Amino acid sequence: MKIREVVQLLNAKVISGHDYLEAEVEYTFASDLMSDVLTIEKENILLLTGLANLQTIRTSEMSEISNIVFVRKKKATPEMIQLAEENDMILIECDYSMFKASGLLYTAGLKPVY
Amino acid sequence: MNFEFNVEGGNFTKAGTASSQLKKILKQLNVDSKVIKRIVVALYEAEVNIVAHAYSGKVIIDISTDRIDMVLEDEGPGIPDISLAMQQGYSTASSAVREMGFGAGMGLPNMKNNCDELTITSEVGKGTIVKMAVCLNQN
């Protein structure tokens, strides 16, 4: 699924990475625990999280995750956006709950990592 | 090839900067991307541990043709029972650490899973030394 479709499906707002909306994602992982995110071995992942701080971006950098959706109306700070831009990441803000966002993406065909 | 980075205890804004810099170096050295991920995930967890638990620390990295050695030395409270700390789910992290998305007792198991050699020595009231090594040529 293209990031552009994810944004439409979640009625969300792109905060960073506007140039990469044609990028494809295959899997979604939903977690607020960064240590769990660090265990993922799959590629082409979309991370759904309600944790909006610098460590979300750092964890994604280490895990080779380039696509992050912040759920539950969480907002990215300027420092997060800067770090995301340095790493060519896409940041998306979404007002839906983690459950609703997960359900919509799952129904639309994105796969779980396990 | 040797590198050294300082890690500041309690400063979550800077947590991960050493891992980030190492990742860039390893990419320049054309190390396999899966191997890079193992190395930086292990180092990042170890770095977060210093930030979360110690007062200060340093990361010493030695890259040779076939392996990378990473030593993290900190000045901090130390670990009274290392085997207990290695158990998944055991954590002494503060609520501030948990708010950062860590502190679930997964750091040390994650480090173990991502490196080929891991040794931890610690002295209560003084500090902890973590030594990790990863083979660079993995198939």
Mark yes or no for CB contact B45/A59 under 8 Å. no
Which residues in chain A are closer than 8 Å to B106, comparing Cβ atoms?
A: 33, 35-36, 38-39
The vertex-B59 CA angle with A42 and B16, nearest 5°, equals 45
Best A57, A62, A63, A98 member to test B by mutation, with max B CBs in 10 Å, is A62
Contact A113, A40 (CB under 8 A): yes
State both tokens at B81: 């029972």
The domain locations on chain B are: 2-135
User: Is the pLDDT score of B25 beyond 80?
Assistant: yes
Question: What CATH number is associated with residue A97?
Answer: 3.40.1390.20
Is A2 a residue whose pLDDT tops 90? yes
Which of A29, A31, A33, A34 best probes binding to B when mutated, by most B CB atoms within 10 angstroms? A34
At B138 the pLDDT is: 72
Distances, alpha carbon B130 to alpha carbons A30, A73, B14, B139, in Å: 31, 39, 20, 26
CA distances from A62 to A2, A18, B51 (A): 23, 22, 17
In the predicted structure, residue B139 carries a pLDDT above the cut 80: no
Q: How far is CA B118 from CA A37, A98, B69, B121, B134, in A?
A: 21, 36, 10, 10, 9
Q: Residues in chain A whose beta carbon is closer than 8 A to a beta carbon of chain B?
A: 32-39, 51, 53-56, 58-59, 61-64, 79
Position B137 scores a pLDDT of: 87
Structural domain containing residue A76: 3-112
Q: State the smallest CA–CA distance between residue B20 and chain A in angstroms.
A: 7
Count CB-CB contacts under 10 A for residue B73. 19
The per-residue pLDDT for A4 is 97
Mean pLDDT of A20-45: 96
Considering its fold, how many domains does chain A have in total?
1
Please name the member of A35, A54, A62 whose beta carbon is closest to the beta carbon of B102. Answer: A35
Average pLDDT over residues A82-93: 97
Mean per-residue pLDDT for B39-62? 97
Query: How close B68 gets to chain A, by Cα (Å)?
Result: 17
Chain B, nearest residue to A32 by Cα: B101
User: Looking at the partner chain, which of B12, B33, B41 has a beta carbon nearest the beta carbon of A55?
Assistant: B12
Question: What count of CB pairs under 8 Å joins A to B?
Answer: 67
A chain contacts of residue B33, beta-carbon cutoff 8 Å: 64
Confidence of residue B130 (pLDDT cuts 50, 70, 90): very high
Q: d(Cα B49, Cα B93) in Å, to the nearest integer?
A: 9
The average confidence (pLDDT) of chain B is: 95
Chain B closest CA to A63's CA: distance in Å? 6
| Beta pairing partners, A17 | none
- Residues 6 or more apart in contact with residue B58 via CB below 8 angstroms: B4, B5, B6, B7, B72, B73, B74
Neighboring chain B residues of A37 at a CB cutoff of 8 Å: 101
**ipTM for the predicted complex:** 0.92
In words, the CATH class of domain B2-135 is: alpha beta
Task: Among B13, B44, B106, select the one facing A62 at the smallest CB separation.
Answer: B44
Which pLDDT score is estimated for A106? Answer: 98
Question: Which of A12-16, A103-107, B58-62, B104-108 has the weakest average pLDDT?
Answer: B104-108
pLDDT at A98: 98
Nearest by CB: A34 against B19, B37, B101: B101
